Chain A
Amino acid sequence: MSLLVSLRSFVSTLFQRSRISAELDEELRSHVQLRADDLERSGLSRSEAERRARVEFGGYERYKQESYEAVGGQFFETLHQDIRFGLRMLYKSPAFTAVAVITLALGISANAVVFSVLNGLILRPLNVPQSQRLFTIQHGQDPSPLQSYPDYLDLRDRNHSFDGVIAYAFSRVGLNTRGDASTAWLYEASGNYFDVLEIRPYLGRFFHASDEHGPNSSPYLVLSYAYWMSHFQGDRDLIGRRVEVNKHPFTVLGVAPPNFRGTELYFTPDFWVPLVNEEQVGGGNDLNARGVRGLSLVGRLKPGVSTSQADADLNSIAAYLAKSYPKDDEKMFFSLARPGLMGDFLGRPVRAFLSGMMLLAGLILLAACANLGNLSAARAADRSREIALRLALGSSRKRILRQLLTEAVLVSLIGGVAGLLGAVVLLRWLSVWQPISSFPANVPVNPDAKVYVVALLLALISGLLFGIVPVQQVLRTNPWQTVKAGPADMVGRRLKLRDLLLVLQIAVCAVLVTSSLVAVRGLLRSLHSNFGFAPQNAMLVETDVDMAGYSGEQVPIMQKRLIDTVGAIPGVTAAAASDMLPLGGQDFSNVAVFKDSETDLRPSNAVLNTYTQNISSGYFGAAGTSLLAGRTFTVHDDKHGPQVAVVNREFARRVFGSEAAAVGRFYKSMDGTRIQVVGVVENGRYRMLTEDPQPAAFLPILQSPSSSTWLIVRSNRDPQELTAAIERSLRSVDAGLPFSIRTWDKEMDSALFASRVATISLGVLGGLGAMLAMTGIFGMASYSVSKRMRELGIRIALGAQRKEVLHSALGRAWRLLVFGSAVGLLLGIAATRVLSSIVYQATPRDPLVLAGVVLAMLLLGLLATWIPAQRALGADPLMLLREE
């Protein structure tokens, strides 16, 4: 209520301030005049009467001010005064202000950046009408949520819970507009895609379910706004024009609205084409293969249907599918997840990681607050004379506290704004960053209103938080004592709260240092671990021969020509092709493997599910994978020869018992083909750096053709020279084939992306934490030394040893440091368990890490107490006594 009243009162008095003041003057003067009139009547001269009247009235200005305050509504006016005074005080102690502002700016910007990313990836929904009704339908068993097209059709047509279910998949194509081929990324989308999402075209029209009339019936293309602007300069005449996608004619139908970025948060397509044209766009024809799962499904829940009802509905369809298609859909079940991050597949780790980061960032800010609380408590102690004087002159404690709080909030707001500006710069850069070279992943994390509000709110809260620390001190100030006694040397138990804050801060810092060291160590290890291939000195060419229109019989011929051509470049020691790249991040599907004796080929009877790669002869040599037993493929392992495979050691061990036993033996694939193992290679990492040893099978690409092509070119030549040479030779084979060339090391970036991000962000936070802890210890130590200079001087005069002086001056700071570090180290070890899922081989039980943390904290303490220690040792008793 009182705020409302004072607000109203404020509004009404704001513009009347001078009027009220004038009226007050008039009334008070009228009083004096009336009194003077009376005195005059009693016989005094007019001038004497007026003088007496004024004397009798008392302190005119004081009563006027008090009356003015009694009118009410001064909240904002007092605020204005406090701010002015606060700014003056801050200006007068620039060191404190700078430290406080920088500390807060760092804390706030760390929080703003993390929150903004959290906002972009988790809080902000897909930019689609009523996106809270949209759910990804995940396929419950696989590590990925992808589904097959026949299953999609069943789900779409048999469910009773969704207004519509859409399907889409990423694909890469060669787009040929005016004679120049370029690589483009797109969504193959079901016909109802735009209608279910309720997106309206920006220009032209979209394709609809009614455009689908079987395979390749719908050669249409809808451009994203960004691609239309960047590649066609917003040319409106493009609508209705023919372009070539993988050499097939497609018609440009329309342009999507600018703010529609597709249905995955981390990837914006260049355009959309109907899924029924999959054969032309994706190269294969998987529309009838129930077991080939490559589609993301998103459904719009009907109004009034709950997620659990939808779950039940979907799982009754799953039961039907499992019964009708036991071979492909055995043990099928579905679940719902939030859309945008491939269901829970990316969603869960991203959410876990970001929540962890948010927590750490919050801790950083808390540490910053503790730090500033300490500083401002020290400052309040230094200002005790000023405060006592103000109390003695009649200022109320409430008023002084208010002023101190205003000062604190002022600092925090300045720091907050500075931090926010820094965060905005960083976020701008993050928003256009494409972290993975092979795939245009990008997340717009530009701050929105929510981020600004949160950042300023955090600033405000931290201001209040550290502003509150010295309150008790002020409340206890006894003006007479303080003014009489001079700066009090109240050292000892009084610092309890501050000690606690410092310990907290050191602990937070130790947690951060521990986790960043664990992450860095994990990253270093993963960089030097054995991947099962050697990325050094190898170039990659990524292409897909169907982008230049090759299909069927032409594919292996073309691939052979490509391999031969790059193999003939001088300096190239080996060249080979594969349809996939280990750790390339594209393949998440498993292929079932059966024992040779198995007759019932249903998924539950499989010995294991394996990663599969189709490779040309010479692949292992080019990739640097060592052969353990048997042989590799030759050009004779083609369609006319028996089906053969090379497996890795894990596969051999699990199916045949040992690597030696595997060579020459057979296993069966899902369709009943008997495949003979001809060789065994070393284990490697195929999908994730953090995975346990996985089985892998390599098949000759001549027996399992695939148009998707990675050329692996091993050479000691300079990458730039080699790139140019490869480019020239590939162009000479077919100028219409789009491709991209990079080193394998660069390609590894995408595999190492997650652990790199984790390491960098933890490193930054760790650095921030270390800095804060250092300033905290420094502040505490130098404050306590400066308060005790006189005592130290006397001790030195009485013959105290350097060790004793240091012990008494800094022992406390060091004890706190040791205690805080120990607590933080323990917490850090607990926290890094979470890390091990992101960073390869991240373990806190690593003596090097533990030693590193202890050393780091030690160094930190030394640095922070160095200057105070010098001061303490340099205490000159004579000087000090003279000063007093």
Chain B
Amino acid sequence: MSNQAQLLPGTLDLLILKAVSLGPLHGYGVLLRIGQISDSALLIEQGALYPALFRLVRQGRLKASWGTSENNRRAKFYELTAAGRKGLQEEMEGWNRLAAAMASVLATRPEEI
């Protein structure tokens, strides 16, 4: 638990988009994928995923369709739309800029000033 990081507000959408960009997923799959690619470093409350998913669908960044999971359960699968792909690209760039800036600020040592 202690090595898990709390999500910054607004980053959940980006994570979902990234996860889904690697291939269509159902909700639980999104969670697993995020856990897998982040090495379980990010803490997401499971239920919190769904409001975000529905919001992204309404914004037209994701589209959803019912299908069957690998263990034969009915599940709703999400995939990126063109708008979602574009949005992901933009948000990724924004995030990278912010992260780089933050990193450089935090790495500053007294003698560098």
Contact = CB atoms under 8 A, between A and B. Distances in A.
Interface of A: 24, 26-28, 30-31, 33-35, 37, 56-60, 62-64, 66-72
Given A26-B74, A72-B58, A58 B46 contact: yes
B54 A58 contact: no
Contacts of B26: 30-31, 34
A37 B51 contact: no
Contact of A69 (B46, B47, B51, B74): B51
Contact of A31 (B27, B54, B55, B71): B27
Contact of B73 (A28, A33, A58, A62): A33
Question: What secondary structure prevails in chain B residues at the interface with A?
Answer: helix
13 contacts: A27-B75, A30-B76, A31-B50, A31-B75, A33-B73, A34-B71, A35-B46, A59-B47, A62-B47, A64-B50, A67-B51, A70-B51, A70-B54
A472 B58 CA distance: 32
B50 A37 contact: no
A30 B75 CA distance: 6
B47 A37 contact: no
Contacts of B29: 34
Given A27-B76, A34-B28, A67 B46 contact: no
B37 interface: no
Given A31-B50, A37-B73, 19 more contacts: A27-B27, A28-B50, A30-B27, A30-B74, A30-B76, A31-B26, A31-B46, A33-B73, A34-B69, A37-B71, A56-B46, A58-B48, A60-B47, A62-B47, A63-B48, A63-B51, A67-B53, A68-B54, A71-B58
A698 to B, nearest CB: 89
Contacts of B52: 70
Interface string B1-44: 00000000000000000000000001111000000000000000
B112 interface: no
A30 B73 contact: yes
A63 B50 contact: yes
A34 to B, nearest CB: 4
A37 B71 CA distance: 9
A136 B73 CA distance: 84
A70 B48 CA distance: 12
Nearest to A71: B54
B50 A67 contact: yes
B45 interface: yes
Contacts of A35: 28, 46
A34 B46 contact: no
Contacts of B54: 67-68, 70-71
B47 A63 contact: yes
A30 B73 CA distance: 7
A71 B75 CA distance: 18
A71 B29 CA distance: 21
A600 to B, nearest CB: 92
Contacts of B69: 30, 34
A821 B35 CA distance: 72
Contacts of B55: 70
Nearest to A35: B28
Nearest to B28: A34
Nearest to A60: B47
A72 B57 CA distance: 10
A382 B71 CA distance: 57
A199 B57 CA distance: 62
B71 A70 contact: no
Contacts of B76: 27, 30
Given A34-B28, A71-B58, A58 B71 contact: no
B75 A58 contact: no
A461 to B, nearest CB: 33
Nearest to A66: B51
Nearest to B58: A72
A57 B51 contact: no
A801 to B, nearest CB: 59
Contacts of B51: 63, 66-67, 69-70
A64 B51 CA distance: 8
Which of B51, B52, B53, B71 gathers the greatest number of chain A CB atoms within 10 Å?
Answer: B51
Contacts of B46: 31, 35, 56-58
B58 A70 contact: yes
Select the residue from A24, A30, A64 with max chain B CB neighbours within 10 A.
A30
A616 to B, nearest CB: 92
B46 to A, nearest CB: 5
A58 B47 contact: yes
B37 to A, nearest CB: 17
A27 B73 contact: no
Most B C-beta atoms less than 10 A away, residue of A26, A62, A70: A70
Nearest to B45: A58
Contacts of A67: 50-51, 53-54
Contacts of A64: 50
A67 B76 CA distance: 14
Contacts of A70: 50-52, 54-55, 58
A64 B50 CA distance: 8
A72 B58 CA distance: 7
A68 B50 CA distance: 9
A68 B58 CA distance: 11
A58 B48 CA distance: 8
Contacts of A31: 26-28, 46, 50, 75
Nearest to B30: A31
A80 B29 CA distance: 37
Interface-central residue, B45, B50, B53, by most chain A CB under 10 Å: B50
Contacts of B48: 58, 63
Contacts of B57: 71
Pairs A-B, 8 closest by C-beta atoms: A63-B47, A70-B54, A66-B51, A58-B47, A34-B28, A70-B55, A67-B50, A57-B46
A359 B53 CA distance: 55
A59 B58 CA distance: 22
A830 B48 CA distance: 66
A217 B54 CA distance: 86
Contacts of B45: 58
Nearest to B72: A37
A27 B27 CA distance: 8
Interface string B67-81: 001010111100000
Contacts of B73: 30, 33-34, 37
A812 B26 CA distance: 66
Contacts of A30: 26-28, 69, 73-76
B16 to A, nearest CB: 13
B104 to A, nearest CB: 36
A42 to B, nearest CB: 13
A780 B52 CA distance: 47
A308 to B, nearest CB: 58
Nearest to A28: B50
B58 to A, nearest CB: 5
A27 B50 contact: yes
A873 to B, nearest CB: 56
A789 to B, nearest CB: 45
Nearest to A62: B47
A487 to B, nearest CB: 34
A34 B75 contact: yes
A24 B57 CA distance: 13
Contacts of B50: 24, 27-28, 31, 63-64, 66-67, 70
A559 to B, nearest CB: 91
Contacts of A24: 50
Contacts of A69: 51
A219 to B, nearest CB: 80
A62 B48 CA distance: 9
A66 to B, nearest CB: 4
A792 to B, nearest CB: 48
